[in-house]
Amino acid sequence: MKAAKLPLLLDVGFGNTVPRERVLALVGYDSEPLRQFVQDLEKVQRVIDATRGRKVKTVLVLDNGFAVLSATARETLAERFEGRSYIKESLPDPAAPTLF
């Protein structure tokens, strides 16, 4: 029995993706120490804001020292990361009607 191949990119919301193999941790943004950690990273320009101006719910800590801010709930991202719920790769559907 073959295991399902998971997409290489993790959808962190609003069409933004992160390489799955770079993610070290998915952390909720509800603790003061984590907020201070993100502020420290912002000072050295190591934060990627993928929230489109919405409230930060999750911080993805990457193996290269960057942190990605996401407006998507940690539980949702964990499901996507584990492959239980994720968007399909954005390849065009040949059966889909075209508008032009």
pLDDT digits (tens, 9 = 90+) for 15-62: 999 999 999 999 999 999 999 999 999 999 999 999 999 999 999 999
Could you tell me the pTM of the whole model? 0.77
pLDDT digits (tens, 9 = 90+) for 69-78: 999 999 999 9
Please give the C-alpha separations between residue 55 and each of 5, 16, 29, 37, 92, in angstroms, as whole numbers: 32, 16, 10, 17, 31
Q: How confident is the model at residue 97 (pLDDT cuts 50, 70, 90)?
A: low
